[in-house]
Chains A and B, each alone.
Chain A
Amino acid sequence: MRKILIATTAAMLAAGVSLVGASAAEKLKVGFIYIGPIGDLGWTYQHDLGRLAVVKEFGDKVETTYLENVSEGPDSERSIEQLARAGNKLIFTTSFGYMDPTLKVAKKYPNVHFEHATGYKRDKNVSTYSGRFYEGRYIQGIIAAKMSKAGVLGYVASFPIPEVISGINATMLGAQTINPNIKVKIIWANTWFDPGKEADAAKALLDQGADIIMQHTDSPAPMQIASERGKLAFGQDSEMIKFGPKSQLTSIIDNWGPYYIERVRAELEGTWKSEDFWGGLKTKMVVMAPYTNMPDDVKKLAMETEAAITEGKLHAFKCPVFAQDGKEVECKGGTHLDDGQILGMNFYVKGVDDKIPGK
């Protein structure tokens, strides 16, 4: 009943537009699907900050709706479709596992636009977007090598997907510019968000002699462990300084707000097109938290590196890049590896003493 009512109203409004003009335009409905709770203080929290930025920017012109804690299984397709049916014209699906469900629903709703985070499949009405987090990792590698007394970094990793592997590699390439013999110990937590497991991994890494903790999982637990043990650490996804005021060196912050605002604006102006957006430090999709708990010279070096990457003078994967077995990796991007090589990265660089799980 309600649906019919809404449909009729919409039809009447559409008919009326020619008479009364644009003032009768409806609010643009924008939907978001989240993998975690908005209070996870990590991945989902940052996406929700992006949503709130949209609300702040456009006020009455938009109406946002989100569904949180949507599992990547059979429920996600229904959840996405529910948002489309409820009249959302632009829908952000913010986890990799929503890729196929997003495409399936997009086929059924050709007039609705979809934005899928971190995926690689697109369609006429499906865009993809992600952050060049490896740029931040390179800076972290440099800081870590400067700050580590043991020369051993501890890395809490999630899944051996290209994004995580390129993060490990970028860290090592950055660290090797300071200390060619730097070591990294990796623990695969096999989860994105599980504070218990993440904490255990961080403890194990510290017990094995690492003195700097890095993480590619989403909770603040590793930071808290480092803080308890008086060690240094890097945050992930969000500003985590309050979990380790004496520990956090910096944090890679996912800053989705500007992108979400830009896409909503395109939708409002009718200029939305399907595209693949991969933003880094330059477009501020990746932002570094303030450099803290380090001497001034390290801070200066970090800021110089950040500036060089932002200006395009420095690339984390500048050629030559050597693989774990010592062979040089083909340099498809001219002076650095090209985006395809980074997006599909499935090898370690020289100096990583680990094996990619399942390979």
Chain B
Amino acid sequence: MHLVLERRTEQSRTIALVSPLIAIGLTLVTMSILVAILGTNPISALGVYFIDPLTDGYSLQEIAVKATPLVMIAIGLSLCYLANAWNIGAEGQFLIGAVAGSWLAVKTHGTDAGPWVLPAMLLLGAAGGALYSLIPAICKVRFAASEILTSLMLVYVADLVLDYLVRGPWRDPAGFNFPTTAAFDPVATVPVLIEAGRLHLGAVIALVVVAAGMVLLGKTIKGFEIRVVGAAPRAARFGGFNSNQLVLLTFAISGALAGLAGIIEVAGPVGNLRPGISPGYGFTAIIVAFLGRLNPVGILIAGLFLALTFIGGEQAQIAMKIPLDVTKVFQGILLFYVLACDSLILYRFRLIFASPKVSRGAA
């Protein structure tokens, strides 16, 4: 007797849509058990976790701030993944974008440069991220190198480049040798939307990116090509679509968006370039992309949801003294269930009692 995964002949569209909700539901059940084992009332813990942050303006703002980079990066990643190009290195593209844009902020620091500085920084950030993401893309197209490995390894390179710059050439001369650049000038800073708040222009840009993603995938031929190349590579070849070109294109777009997110984060909430500007946004965005079913609107919701788990997790730490690790366990369990539910849409379990031949006849 053994257990096999068997491909389903037909898949339910409804289930495909509600599968993330099932995953979230299962996660909540698992988390409740975990929290109860830790000796806290699960109902009030889940309340602090998921309901309280939604009930006041401050937390809502913080959720938007946290979701901004996640959504922007995940939209780009979804294009890659739809086209079967596996960009795992968004974290590195995020960092290089931050570095590229910061270059201008550092160079114009203390000069009376005009309001053109910030737009130019955003462009540089996007360009930097795009160029950086093209390295693994070109290696894949030209040399058939696994983009999963190359893009991931370039994350560490990016990390060290940033590290070198803020410890050496770009270090704030008045900063007692601490590894940060000087605080960016006001013209090099992303403006906040609400006085004394932290919600910044980046949130609006993220919404524009979501809309652009919807248009690209839903209304354009390129979007169609991306989906066909991923879903049916053979059909795409017969259709005359150039899959190599699409790899380059989707990588460049996702790199540009990650880079843009990077420079917005640095010029916004952080305020200067320093090590540790990303608490793993580029990796968390992979979860966001899949949780959002590689769909722009889904990604927006998923990004907000994941941001909620961060903010709620912090509030649970304060209010209920639940350890930080629970937040991380939570995200891991969530991804696990999302992938598990997805697998069960495409496949089903079968217990096989006799020889495989008989069971195939039964299916």
Binding site for B on A (CB under 8 A): 1-3, 31, 65, 67-69, 71-75, 77-79, 81-83, 85-86, 96-97, 100, 108, 120, 159-162, 165, 190, 344, 346, 356-358
How far does the alpha carbon of A69 sit from the alpha carbon of B326 in the complex, in Å?
13
Is the pair A67, B317 in contact by a Cβ cutoff of 8 Å? Answer: yes
CB-CB under 8 A for A78 and B279, given A67-B314, A344-B176: no
Is the pair A78, B314 in contact by a Cβ cutoff of 8 Å? Answer: yes
A-side contacts of B65, CB under 8 Å = 74, 78
CB-CB under 8 A for A346 and B318, given A73-B276, A358-B168: no
Is the pair B167, A190 in contact by a Cβ cutoff of 8 Å? Answer: yes
Number of A-B contacts (CB under 8 A): 85
Within 8 Å by CB of B279, from A73, A85, A161, lies A73
5 residue pairs bridging A and B, Cβ less than 8 Å apart? A65-B321, A67-B318, A67-B324, A74-B269, A120-B176
Is the pair B196, A108 in contact by a Cβ cutoff of 8 Å? Answer: yes
Is the pair A73, B177 in contact by a Cβ cutoff of 8 Å? Answer: no
Is B277 an interface position by the 8 A CB rule? yes
CB distance from A83 to the nearest CB of B (A): 6
Is the pair B318, A82 in contact by a Cβ cutoff of 8 Å? Answer: yes
Q: In chain B between 25 and 63, which residues have their CB closer than 8 angstroms to a CB of chain A? A: 48, 52, 55-56, 58, 62
Is the pair B167, A74 in contact by a Cβ cutoff of 8 Å? Answer: no
How far does the alpha carbon of A100 sit from the alpha carbon of B277 in the complex, in Å?
14
How far does the alpha carbon of A333 sit from the alpha carbon of B66 in the complex, in Å?
48
B270's nearest neighbour on chain A, judged by CB, is A74
Q: How many residues of B contact A (CB 8 A)?
A: 37
A-side contacts of B176, CB under 8 Å = 120, 161-162, 344, 346
CB-CB under 8 A for A357 and B167, given A73-B278, A74-B269: yes
How far does the alpha carbon of A245 sit from the alpha carbon of B33 in the complex, in Å?
42
Is the pair B58, A73 in contact by a Cβ cutoff of 8 Å? Answer: no
Is B204 an interface position by the 8 A CB rule? no
Is the pair B196, A86 in contact by a Cβ cutoff of 8 Å? Answer: no
CB distance from A324 to the nearest CB of B (A): 16
CB distance from A340 to the nearest CB of B (A): 12
Interface bits B305-345 vs A (CB < 8 Å: 1, else 0): 00000010011011101011000000000000000000000
Interface of A (DSSP majority class): mixed
B-side contacts of A97, CB under 8 Å = 178, 274, 276
Q: In chain B between 119 and 171, which residues have their CB closer than 8 angstroms to a CB of chain A? A: 163, 167-168, 171
CB-CB under 8 A for A72 and B274, given A357-B167, A358-B177: yes
How far does the alpha carbon of A120 sit from the alpha carbon of B178 in the complex, in Å?
12
A-side contacts of B270, CB under 8 Å = 73-74
B-side contacts of A165, CB under 8 Å = 177
B55, B171, B323, B324 pick with most chain A CB within 10 angstroms? B324
CB distance from B265 to the nearest CB of A (A): 6
CB-CB under 8 A for A2 and B52, given A65-B318, A73-B278, A82-B315: yes
Is the pair A160, B177 in contact by a Cβ cutoff of 8 Å? Answer: yes
A120's nearest neighbour on chain B, judged by CB, is B176
Is the pair A159, B279 in contact by a Cβ cutoff of 8 Å? Answer: no
CB-CB under 8 A for A71 and B56, given A77-B198, A78-B314, A86-B319: no
Is B233 an interface position by the 8 A CB rule? no
Is B187 an interface position by the 8 A CB rule? no
CB distance from B273 to the nearest CB of A (A): 11
CB-CB under 8 A for A96 and B178, given A67-B314, A73-B279: yes
